[in-house]
Structure 1
């Protein structure tokens, strides 16, 4: 805060006395330190302690998002008000009596050193230094337990999104004082299904974040030449050309992405689930994921799959799956977009799962937290499970059929196809236009719950719909797509959506009549059909099998509803357009490479396309 000093000394004195009285009335103490790391670089660290704290555990978050901002979001003498906002589960922190510590990672805001996006492990081919986010976490915890007199020496790490990544990295070589970790919606694998790519298709929205990533305060903004993102991306042609026009191609991480479009060693060596799977499990961890996470929907369950087999005691690996968008768990969780749950699901989880979990591991309190706490949409209830997916899950094949039908029985006989023309000049949008640049998250945050009727009306989207259900169909786990399809081009994207269609009339909520609610949706870039690490052209006009997973779901398709599957070949401008002509690197595609293609999806015969559903009783 900047004060304009005047000759009115008395006013200045009053201001100073007022600020002093606020400080003395506050129910917390706030301290700032620059903590030295093993290589001499100092990291800016803010510590907020409950007034009079003694023998209190520490909750640490390491962040690129500005430690000062996260620990002074509002001027207040109340610690809870001070902390309310992104990545502070303020109610749990304050009610639990924890010492709150937030630290700027290297190269960001008040910290020294240089910033490297999701910094690879020290000593790897992509990081020749002796430091990484794991060593910095270790050195920070070591300093805190030695220099914060009010602590009892127990530390937990917690964080959302990028801070979820740094939380997980603290587990690579954990400090002995680290007693618990809670990564929430963490960045885990930037190629398989988190921020940068999904199965090889590039998430164009990332260009704005990458553009300013090397600035210390994230202040370099990406320039949009239209209020509609659709226009900006279409005018440039390819996202690589847009990067060249905006100067993003000068940013090192952008160059890394362009140089590594396939799932090669660059991505595999940084995948946090792979890293942790190769190390001993030493610290209890609760991974929290969001079922409609528009940014990092892959990471939570990927880490759970990597760690759960290592938990021979059954007391170290926990999972939460909540009905939320990204970073939603610390805010009001009563709804996502148009979908209302009937209660504040996020508050319930914080009070009944997060708080007792932390208290158990940091304060020795008893807890009654299930190994898996998963919200079931449709019934809109929390479920306590022993594992994920639940042991009761079986598989059932949901077949795409001729004439837009969908069902659990295959159509025998000769091969039949459902066809459409995919035109890169008129791509299918992921939400209806305009796709706003400045929407304060209103369009972006809940987009995975957007009504899909706008897509179903397009001729380049195949829609398959079941009969009205006379009994519930419950799924819990990862639906697997087995799509058999051909293209007249030499490359193609395939987007598959699993959708819950509401009844034509919903008496108690007319706005939801006929609503097409996405349950799980994903994209797959055809060039990686044979190998994720090596792109190869597709053989034109030859039916080929594509197999890939949709994000995990925990949902009941209720009686009176219908199940729908949509198939399309673009999802713009969230994902870059596939030229549909094979080129070595799509980032470098030229206008002449973008061609129409005839897509044929097999819907009958021995190779009929289907989704393997994880069905439960």
Structure 2
């Protein structure tokens, strides 16, 4: 085969290659695309078979297995479980790619097993979104995702020829959730798992809620297709279409949250109802918090995430931290790069939006981190055992770093306080009398989350220029003087706001921003005509629904006009604010339609009507006894 020949020739010494050129006739360059060549390679080197694997309760799960045609050795199994279907179906219809993104996997040789989870695709049973762990399984009818994974692995190692009884799991986003679930009460044959952007908690920080704020644009777009009426092994056929590229206008015209089911879902999407009706951190959400079950970790685990993952920054960081806290001595690894959702599995990770990272970070991860991890743990080959505890990319400097813990053990807190005139520095405010900045938050004119028209949750928003927001009267801005030396932030952030509102509930959005010097050069070429001089790069932004300031399971109204504290953690960053740059913090009370609108009245937001949405005057205090601030975890 042509592709096979190219691989073999590339390994020959240069002298032999030169001699071969003198003796061989000239070759006609292939006109086939890389995807076509990859598909040819898979058909030539793998045999596909389809199975209905029985679970302990008798339900059968559809699984497509690709086995190397070379039977001279035994191979480990790489398992991926998904709710998105494992088509194309039919033993003669081959997938166009096998395994993780790097083609090294399919050329090295693994047995690839792809499974439709219970109730999806061609699998039997009833599907449940983020099915919780059942900690009290007593009989064969008691199932959960860990038991389905266990039964699947047990069947595979006993029935698939030429396997070496070593299994790995991987998956991105929802499949990442299943890869994490596989580590709970793991089958002895499961030796390594890599949950990538895994769902961990859909109320506190993953995907559809951030600190109680519904991520409206993302939730609507996702459930407009997923979970609605569609054929079991085909694309969604009843997807809701906005019929406009402008999500801001679409959602504002839709109005109150209660209108979405009436206008669009019509009761056909069960989880949309569960998502909106369970508006506090109740047992529904608590039972689905995976962190509490990551105990007695047996397989090596590599959690993977992106610093700019619009869908899920929270998941991989908190899975790693929870596993670390509950499994001392376990092989537990974290990888974080400058990626959007799943960006590490794409061909090029050189840039996101207007920000360039100076190298192909995705290719580096695929070939130098992910492949060695599985190669070592499943085949005992290579130097994957030398991978660090944390392999993380530092934005600002655009460098990869290795740490033996995350956050780094030598990290120290630096507090930046808000001051009059929009100043931000390390000096605690001296004012004794009441001092504050204020703005009017109007739900009819919420602050947009992008400076451009977007039809949903735009992935580049997490590095977007924030100058459009800084100019609004309903956004407070605080910034440092130009930095005299680099400030390296490595770890979580803590926002501490002393606030009051004329309403009885309000949201508080805090954004950490890197302000570039005015003479920063524009990129060359510059197809989008972006101006980097004075660019306000979003490094991290996070909302918080004020009624949860005493606890996510204990909503409490504000007393109008009375000062109270809203303090919350923001997801980790690894970013250097370079010499000459400024550190900026913006504070606002809406971020639309990324987050749903707060009526600014203490109530169940899903029950709010148009007349319930009211303006509110928001104050942020900056006195010696009420010093609003942001804390940064910094290293030298």
Pair in the same fold by TM > 0.5: yes
Report what 2:616 is aligned to: 597
Report what 1:345 is aligned to: 361
Report what 1:455 is aligned to: 469
* Match 1:249 to one of 255, 267, 273: 267
* Match 2:144 to one of 129, 132, 139: 132
**Structure 2 CA distance for partners of 1:23 and 1:57, relative to 1, 3 Å:** closer
**Structure 2 CA distance for partners of 1:408 and 1:477, relative to 1, 3 Å:** same
Residue 356 in 1 paired to residue 372 in 2? yes
**Structure 2 CA distance for partners of 1:221 and 1:180, relative to 1, 3 Å:** same
CA contact (8 A) 1:268 1:274 kept: no
Residue 505 in 1 paired to residue 519 in 2? yes
Residue 606 in 1 paired to residue 625 in 2? yes
Q: Distance in 1 between matches of 2:120 and 2:577?
A: 46
Could you list the runs of 5+ residues in structure 2 that have no partner in the other structure? 1-38, 524-529
Q: Distance in 2 between matches of 1:124 and 1:537?
A: 37
Q: Could you say what secondary structure the match of 2:122 adopts?
A: coil
Report what 2:561 is aligned to: 541
Report what 2:31 is aligned to: none
CA contact (8 A) 1:154 1:177 kept: yes
Report what 1:15 is aligned to: none
CA contact (8 A) 2:522 2:533 kept: no
Residue 65 in 1 paired to residue 80 in 2? no
Residue 159 in 1 paired to residue 177 in 2? no
- Superposition pairs for residues 282-361 of structure 1, below 5 Å? 282-313=298-329, 315-331=330-346, 332-361=348-377
**Structure 2 CA distance for partners of 1:254 and 1:25, relative to 1, 3 Å:** closer
| Aligned-pair CA distance for 1:599 | 0.6
| Aligned-pair CA distance for 1:280 | 1.4
Q: Distance in 1 between matches of 2:369 and 2:90?
A: 24
Structural RMSD (CA) = 2.4
CA contact (8 A) 2:301 2:333 kept: yes
| Aligned-pair CA distance for 1:508 | 6.2
Deviations 1:521-553 (A, max 9, x none): 100000111121021211111111111111110
- Superposition pairs for residues 371-450 of structure 1, below 5 Å? 371-414=389-432, 415-436=434-455, 444-450=458-464
CA contact (8 A) 1:372 1:388 kept: yes
Q: Distance in 1 between matches of 2:469 and 2:520?
A: 22
| Aligned-pair CA distance for 1:360 | 1.4
**Structure 2 CA distance for partners of 1:334 and 1:259, relative to 1, 3 Å:** same
Could you list the runs of 5+ residues in structure 1 that have no partner in the other structure? 1-20, 438-442
**Structure 2 CA distance for partners of 1:456 and 1:253, relative to 1, 3 Å:** same
**Structure 2 CA distance for partners of 1:480 and 1:191, relative to 1, 3 Å:** same
Q: Distance in 2 between matches of 1:274 and 1:70?
A: 37
Report what 1:41 is aligned to: 59
| Aligned-pair CA distance for 1:252 | 2.3
| Aligned-pair CA distance for 1:70 | 10
**Structure 2 CA distance for partners of 1:467 and 1:69, relative to 1, 3 Å:** farther
Deviations 1:447-466 (A, max 9, x none): 21111111111110111111
Task: Please say which of residues 484-493 and 531-540 is displaced more in the overlay.
Answer: 531-540
Residue 169 in 1 paired to residue 181 in 2? yes
CA contact (8 A) 2:102 2:371 kept: no
Deviations 1:50-91 (A, max 9, x none): 33153111110000112115999x988xx8xx217xx73242
Deviations 1:363-408 (A, max 9, x none): 1123320011010111100110010100110001111111111111
Q: Distance in 1 between matches of 2:90 and 2:197?
A: 21
- Superposition pairs for residues 223-242 of structure 1, below 5 Å? 223-242=241-260
Residue 570 in 1 paired to residue 601 in 2? no
| Aligned-pair CA distance for 1:121 | 2.3
Residue 489 in 1 paired to residue 503 in 2? yes
Report what 2:208 is aligned to: 196
- Superposition pairs for residues 78-97 of structure 1, below 5 Å? 82-83=96-97, 88-97=100-109
Report what 1:28 is aligned to: 46
| Aligned-pair CA distance for 1:605 | 2.5
Task: Please say which of residues 293-302 and 107-116 is displaced more in the overlay.
Answer: 107-116
